[in-house]
Structure 1
Amino acid sequence: MIAIPWNRQTVPHCVLEITQQCNLSCKACYREKMSHTRSVGQVLADLETIEKNQDVQTVSLAGGEPTLHPDLVEIVDRVHQRGHRVSLVTNGLLLTDDLLARLKTAGLDIVMLHVDEEQSRPDLPENPTIEAINALRKKLSEQVARHGIDAGLCVTIYKEHFGHLQHLIDCITSTPDINFVFATHAAEIPDIVEHSNISAAAPNGGIYRSAPTRNSDVQDFFRSTYGIDCFAYIPPKKPDSNEWPCISYYLPVLHSKTGNKLYTVQSGKADQALIRLSRKLTGRYMYYCPPRRWIIALQLLINGASTGSFFRAFGFVLQSLAPGKRLSAKRLVFENAPVVMEDGTVNCCDFCPNSTARNGKVIPVCLADHLEPIV
């Protein structure tokens, strides 16, 4: 396991909330449903606020439902022109081939599909099975991939559906076009208390009741099922905490018509060195990178050399060169909500990997409606 070497200044990801309009109802949504939509100028001003505070590499456009924004294509183009990777977080209901083609031309890199349990969707039956949900995830990801855009999933982990985590892993490992998963644990709406230290520098004034599931449950699942621990983690604010608020897994997969082969990876010092090298070469840490077969192969070989499993890695890479084989790598990120500890303090990420801008301040996106309502 390696600690991700970001800090508040160098964290490479942010979220721009371009509209609060939405066309779905989700059980775990923490957002206030309003009709407010940001103009292109306001969105770019928000981005400038974040750029002054962070070395951003990837910008996620979210909402609400961002495909409801009339100027979505222009926003993607403007963000792309500023030198950022662009991600779109959407429920997929309004995705059409025409829109995807225009978004690709504008510079969109990845579509994060929020197709989840506890949603009321017109493209799924009431109380759908996990098989039906995964079928829709695959269908939408294939549509996105046909336009040369990468696909990922945004999911919510509910206590009553925790057993479906294996179904999620099976879905992404059997789908070559899904390469990124961002998962959050369902938490109750936060009670926001008054703290004198609520600011962009100390955004921990919001208190959530403990979520029914946490990242420690996810770690237990991967240890018992795959025999691996998380690849990387973001340290908590409380260094003595046993709970890591943000963890990630790296799962290379070899796809073929006869089946899919999963390669389990444990991180080593060389992997952290590669993360630091990316910043030295580009001036920023990487958050999203396009999936390239040769880069995946190189990472596996370097990892194998540093963890004593080079020949195993070499054999896997060699198999990927055979006709009819396709090598992909799945990155899974699991994030806790801020958790109230027994001593009454709040445990969350030492820095927020999903910050947004509100009223000229940079704050965690999950607390934005409560700490800095749109005015």
Structure 2
Amino acid sequence: MVIRELTPEKYYRLPWNLADNAITWLEPTTKCNLYCEGCYRENDPGGHRPLDDVKEELLAVKKLRKTDGISIAGGEPLIYPDIVELVRFVKEQGWKPIINSNGHALTPELVRDLKDAGLIGFTMHVDSHQRRPGWTGKNELELNELRESLSQMIHKEGKGKIACAFNATIYRDTLDDIPMLTRWAHENIKYVHTMVYILFRCAQGMDKFVPMAKGQPIDARQLMYSDDKWEGSKDILAQEIADKIREDYPDYEPCGYLNGTEDSRSMKWLLGLRVGYKDKILGYMDAKYIEFIQSAHHYLFGTYLAYSRPGLMRNLQYLMPLMLFNKSWRKIFWRVAFNPLRWFRSLRMQSQMIIQPCDVFEDGRQSMCDGCPDAIYYKGRLVWSCRVDELEKFGAFIEACPSSEFKGEAPAKAGMADFRESAENKEALEEVN
């Protein structure tokens, strides 16, 4: 049931684009130490790249794109042998280094080393569809213990100077956990600055489509996101996540978004900003606030804002003057002003992001994220990082040709889950663990 329809016309269309964006994606390695069901990258035991090659890629990115932060991902970046030096290099180039990790290899010493190298933030991927030693089979509620451990380690060893975000891939069988996860993030607003929900996607419905590349049918079983386990499952949409959040937080309202390349009203990246304390959310920022912040940051620093230091997300009383021209801040001001017990408490902000990946329409069109922050450098251009495997394996992005329009012999049905259990993947995991 739709609690309240999302209305993009009331939100700020984030100004991020291919040439000027808040974030750019970087993969120094494709080797990983965990299996994640929703991952779109193949685990390569020999996936560590030479540091000099990675630096050259970053210098090439600088010529193609203005960016505030570099998301260092993989693979698992924490097992990349030159991760500290890479973070230092990113910082020296004037960017904010951000690490996207599963957290399995994180240690207090490594947090300290990364802080000293200039790390701005961690985004930790923790969800129940991972095979994590000691945690396999745990549900989302039980995994909160791990989330708390990681967030408090980052806070303690990072001296409160490293932002901490968590993302979770959301599946049909974990959709009902959204209210609980949103509450958990609220209760840990001191340590957790961002909560991200990534809606699961895989190549399915191949009885309706023939996968094509360069005008020829191809066998899509080679892709990590080809999995017939979910065949027939309806894709989750951002509206469903918003409805789940509103079950516990009825006032929840996003403020900014990115639309799809084929659907201007779709919510591909949906940003919400909430302000309050661990026991009470006082309100949500509106479209005018995020427009002001993005525009002001670009005017002052030349880039659209990505991650902020934790110090800017607490003691937000310094932003109260914005009430003079911003409606959402006026609401919060009066809710603080009329309760003296709140006057001297640290007012905090926490962001919530919903990411709705590729949508495939009945006619085969694929709606990607327009202005995607997670673009990666590939052979002289910037491409969607979630689909770079297609370029590596087939030399082109896969097109979905409706079966009714295809003339010729189609390949074997795509979506074979046994490929995801390949000897190569098992070898990679065994080598690390």
Report the TM-score when normalising by structure 1. 0.87
Looking at structure 2, the residues matched to 355 and 54 of structure 1 have their Cα atoms a distance apart, in angstroms, of: 10
Which of 261, 274, 277 aligns to 2:293? It is: 274
Deviation at residue 343 of structure 1 after TM alignment:
3.4
The amino acid that maps onto 2:284 is V
1:87–1:303 CA distance, 2 compared to 1 (3 A): farther
The structure-2 alpha-carbon separation of the partners of 1:153 and 1:111, relative to structure 1 and needing over 3 Å to count, comes to same
2:167 is aligned with 1:166:
no
The CA deviation at 1:50 is 2.1
- Which amino acid in the other structure matches residue 249 of structure 1? G
2:115 aligns to what?
104
Is contact 2:238-2:355 (8 Å) kept?
A: yes
Structure-1 residue corresponding to 2:62? 51
Cα distance in structure 1, aligned partners of 2:357 and 2:120: 27
| In structure 1, distance between residues paired with 2:289 and 2:64 | 29
Letter in 2 for 1:287: A
Cα–Cα, structure 1 residues 45 and 182, in superposed 2: closer, same or farther, change >3 Å? farther
Aligned to 2:349: 329
Corresponding residue SS for 2:91? helix
Asked if residue 181 in structure 1 is aligned to residue 195 in structure 2, the reply is yes
Partner of 2:253: 229
User: Is 1:220 matched with 2:243?
Assistant: yes
Q: 1:81 to 1:294 in 2, by over 3 A?
A: same
C-alpha change, 1:309 and 1:179, in structure 2 (3 Å) is closer
Contact 2:172 2:236 in 1 (8 A): yes
Letter in 1 for 2:184: C
Q: Select which of 375, 398, 411 maps to 1:355.
A: 375
RMSD (Å), alpha carbons: 2.7
Is contact 1:226–1:264 with CA below 8 Å preserved after alignment?
no
Deviates more, 1:165-174 or 1:301-310: 301-310
Q: Is the 8 A contact 1:46 1:360 kept in 2?
A: no
In the other structure, the counterpart of 1:154 is 167
Question: Which among 27, 37, 47 is matched to residue 27 of structure 1?
Answer: 37
- 2:275 is paired with a residue whose SS is strand
CA contact (8 A) 1:304 1:312 kept: no
Pick one of 50, 62, 67 that aligns with 1:39: 50
| Residue matched to 1:286 | 305
In structure 1, what residue type is equivalent to 2:213? E
1:299-353 CA-to-partner distances (Å, cap 9, x unmatched) read 565268422661543433775542xx33321111111111112333221222211
Indicate the structure (1 or 2) with the bigger Cα radius of gyration. Answer: 2
**What residue in structure 1 maps to residue 124 of structure 2?**
113
Instruction: Report the CA distance shift for 1:234/1:311 in structure 2 as closer, same or farther (over 3 A).
Output: closer
Q: SS state of the match for residue 64, structure 2?
A: coil
In the TM superposition, residue 212 of structure 1 has moved relative to its aligned partner by 2.4
Verify the 8 A CA contact 2:127 2:140 in the aligned structure 1: no
* 1:289-304 aligned within 5 A: 289-291=308-310, 292-293=312-313, 296-299=316-319, 302=322
Instruction: Kindly tell me the number of residue pairs found equivalent between the two proteins.
Output: 358
The Cα offsets for residues 168-197 of structure 1, whole Å up to 9 and x where unpaired, read as 11111111111012321111147863268x
Contact 1:14 1:356 in 2 (8 A): yes
Letter in 2 for 1:250: L
Alignment partner of 2:90: what SS? helix
Q: Look up the match of 1:65.
A: 76
Q: Could you list the per-position Cα deviations for residues 106-133 of structure 1 after superposition, in whole angstroms to 9, with x for gaps in the alignment?
A: 0111111111111111132x42132220
* Counterpart residue type for residue 120 of structure 1: R
Q: Tell me what 1:201 maps to.
A: none
> Could you report, residue by residue, the CA deviation over 1:272-325 in whole angstroms, capped at 9, with x for unpaired residues?
133111101111111111132567445565268422661543433775542xx3
Q: Aligned pair in 2 of structure 1 residues 266, 308: CA closer, same or farther (>3 Å)?
A: closer
**1: distance between equivalents of 2:329 and 2:343?**
19
CA–CA distance in 1 between the matches of 2:67 and 2:303? 7
2:286 alignment partner AA: S
- % identity of equivalent residues: 23
Alpha-carbon shift at residue 159 of structure 1 (Å): 0.9
Report deviation, 1:373. 5.2
Q: What is the CA distance between 1:47 and its match in structure 2?
A: 1.5
SS in 1 for 2:283: coil
Do the aligned partners of 1:228 and 1:266 also contact (CA within 8 Å) in 2?
no
- Partner Cα distance (1:48, 1:360) in 2: 11
Structure 2 counterpart of 1:237, one-letter code: T
Q: Does 1:250 align with 2:269?
A: no
| Gap change, CA 1:271 and 1:101, over 3 Å in 2 | closer
Distance in structure 2 (CA, Å) of the matches to 1:264 and 1:304: 16
Q: Rate the CA distance shift 1:188–1:275 in 2: closer, same or farther, 3 A.
A: same
In structure 1, distance between residues paired with 2:296 and 2:226: 36
Structure 2: which amino acid aligns with 1:177? Y
Between 354-363 and 296-305, report the one with greater CA deviation: 296-305
Which runs of no fewer than 5 residues in structure 1 stay unpaired?
A: 197-205
Find the aligned partners of 2:70 and 2:133 in 1 and give their Cα distance.
29
Letter in 2 for 1:142: Q
**Do the aligned partners of 2:314 and 2:347 also contact (CA within 8 Å) in 1?**
no
Corresponding position of 1:340: 360
**Contact conserved, 2:282 with 2:332, CA < 8 A, in 1?**
no
2:143 maps to amino acid = I
In 2: Cα distance, 1:115 partner to 1:303 partner: 37
Query: Aligned partner of 1:107: which letter?
Result: G
